[in-house]
Structures are given as structure tokens and as C-alpha cells.
Amino acid sequence: MQADNKSYDDINVTPMVDLYLVLLLIFIIMTTAGVQGVKVNLPRGGPSTSKPIEGPKMQAITVDNQGNIKLNATAVTIDELSTKLEAIKASMPDVPVVIRGDSSTQYQTIMDVLTAVGRVGITQVGLATQAKK
């Protein structure tokens, strides 16, 4: 009997690809879970015609139904919001901002936030809504 002395020139990469896909899936889930911030009841909007704002540098401003303002889940006043946004804009000039307002909040609070964002000079501003059912 002769022993099987074949040399293996091919490497089976299927298990390695499976591992990479699992790690990618875990990374995607953890990244999106970290951006959620504070839960609010978003107003309904129509179909979007603009491209989504992407990237880890995105800042989320949330206004809840009591009118409390949060920058990335940290409670702030309008003056503190302007100061923090100025510091963020100094380090990242093209920083995108998403404003999430509860559907039952007063419109004036949202306008105050928009005014503060505009005063700082941030031009990439998005308003978060839910899709119509």
C-alpha cells in the first residue's frame, strides 16, 4: 500500500470568510445600537429625497415631549448646546447634525435648536421622522 503523499496547494478560506462575516455583522449591530440615544416619538414624514447622513461623526440632538434638549444623550440647555456645537465644529468643520423632536413637543423648542445650530454655522442638518404607515 502506498501512502497518500499529496501536497495541498489550496487553502480552504470558507471558515475564515464565515468568521469575517460574523464579525462584520456584530460590528454593524453594535454601531447602530450605540447611535440610538434617547427614545422619542418621532413625527411622521413623507418619502425622503435626500441622501442619508452617514458616519461616526454625526451628532444627534434630541428634544423630548417636555422640551428637554439632549446632545448625544447628554442633557444640555440652549446656551450649552451652542457652546458644545462650536467646540465640535472647530474639530470637525463638516459635522452633520440630526435633530430628533418628539411629535408632541412645542415647535418653538425645535426652532430654538435650529437657530442655535445655524448660529454655529453647521450646514448639514437633518430632521428625523418616521415613515408614514
- Domains of the chain and any CATH numbers: 38-131 (3.30.420.270)
Closest by Cα among 29, 46, 32, 38 to 99? 38
List, for residues 71-109, the tens digit of each pLDDT value: 887 889 988 988 998 988 888 888 888 888 887 778 888
CA dihedral 36, 41, 45, 50 (to 10 degrees): -20
The whole-number pLDDT of residue 107 equals: 81
Q: Which of 59, 83, 82, 79 is nearest to 71 (CA)?
A: 59
pTM: predicted TM-score of the whole model, two decimal places: 0.57
pLDDT single digits (tens) 7-55: 667 778 888 888 999 999 888 877 766 555 566 666 676 666 656 555 4
Place of cell 439632549: 70
Confidence of residue 4 (pLDDT cuts 50, 70, 90): low
